[in-house]
Amino acid sequence: MAALAGPLCLRLRRHPAFVTGRDGRLSTSTAIALAWTVILVWLLLALLGYGLTAGGGVSWFHGTDGPLSTLTTVYLPLLGGPYVALIAAKAVVGLRVERGSLAKPAAPPTASGSRPLRELIANDSGRTDLVDLQYVTLSAVTMLYVVLFFLADVGEGLPRLPEEIWALTGAPAGAYLVNKMATRPSPVITKASVSGDRLTVEGGGFTPDPAGRPPLVTVDDTPLEARPDPLTGALTTTLPPTAKPPLTVVVTARGLRSDPYCYEGPALPAQQSAG
């Protein structure tokens, strides 16, 4: 397991593009499908090594009660649910973005280049998504069941878990997919910056309403008129003189509100020690 997962985790930490979506954030469906793939490959390689060294050779794999007897009834469904969710979710998100019914703004870059694991259970605004949370949690618990039961007795082959256990990945995968289909095209704030009395809000979904009215920016419950940048789509507004960080910023577009974004102010420079 260490030989398989160790180098892969190091590679993904430095260059996570393999498990990120089109917006640059960690993809929950891709990460879950990849984890199940690694576990199943490890199980098969471990059984191959055991069978050729201590299990009696090729004959050990034969028979209706052989070490791989539950592969098609239990483990392929466990793997299939996450992969169906992965493929379907990519198709749904791609179609919705092309039709303009879903905003997927690019994720802000991080200083280290790696992506925070919290993105696996969070929406595009950074808030915890209950559907993503249950998908990750139940999948992790099911993986733990498989790994611990296998380590308890390798000689028995693939752990003979109940066939119904596929529901622990299949049902959350279905809910995850339905959530992708039902997500409203609400505006998303990815970054806010202040220069003088000018507030600039970056993100996605900042489209005018059918009457042509631009989105509205609300700062600490004070609505402000905003001007969209024709090139970047960012919103710019003038802050009132009393506005001081931290600021709570909300964008309303087409009657839909974004999640609140907290602007803490510019980062303070590190204090240098006297010497």
Among the residue ranges 98-102, 135-139, 193-197, 269-273, the one predicted with the least confidence is: 269-273
Biggest distance spanned by C-alpha atoms of the chain:
82
pLDDT grade for 137, boundaries at 50, 70 and 90: very high
Burial classification of residue 211, based on how many CB atoms lie within 10 Å of its CB (0-12 exposed, 13-18 middle, 19 or more buried) = exposed
Residue 250 pLDDT > 60: yes
Task: Pick the more confident residue, 86 or 19.
Answer: 86
Q: Other CB atoms closer than 10 Å to residue 201's CB: what's the count?
A: 26
CA distance 1 to 39: 8
Q: Among 4, 83, 6, which Cα is nearest to 43's?
A: 4
3-state secondary structure of 158: coil
Task: State pTM to two decimals.
Answer: 0.71
Domains identified in the chain and CATH numbers: 2-182 (no CATH), 188-263 (2.60.40)
Per-residue pLDDT at 170: 85
Among the residue ranges 51-60, 186-195, 196-205, 238-247, the one predicted with the least confidence is: 51-60
Contact 263, 247 (CB under 8 A): yes
Q: Other CB atoms closer than 10 Å to residue 166's CB: what's the count?
A: 21
Residue 203 pLDDT > 70: yes
Q: Determine the average pLDDT of the residues in 115-137.
A: 84
Q: Terminal CA-to-CA distance of the chain, rounded, Å?
A: 50
Instruction: Give pairs for 222-225: CB < 8 Å, separation 24+.
Output: 224/199
Per-residue pLDDT at 101: 62
Task: Pick the more confident residue, 246 or 3.
Answer: 246
Model confidence over 59-79: pLDDT tens digits? 778 777 788 888 888 888 888
Amino acid identity of residue 247, one-letter, is L
Contact 216, 226 (CB under 8 A): yes
Model confidence over 16-46: pLDDT tens digits? 777 887 777 888 999 999 899 989 999 998 8
Mean pLDDT is highest, among 96-105, 168-177, 263-272, for 168-177
Indicate the average pLDDT of the chain.
81
Q: Among 263, 92, 259, 102, which Cα is nearest to 177's?
A: 92
Per-residue pLDDT at 111: 63
Q: Among 31, 9, 10, which Cα is nearest to 20's?
A: 31
Per-residue pLDDT at 135: 93
Residue with tokens 């970056």: 202
Task: Pick the more confident residue, 233 or 88.
Answer: 88
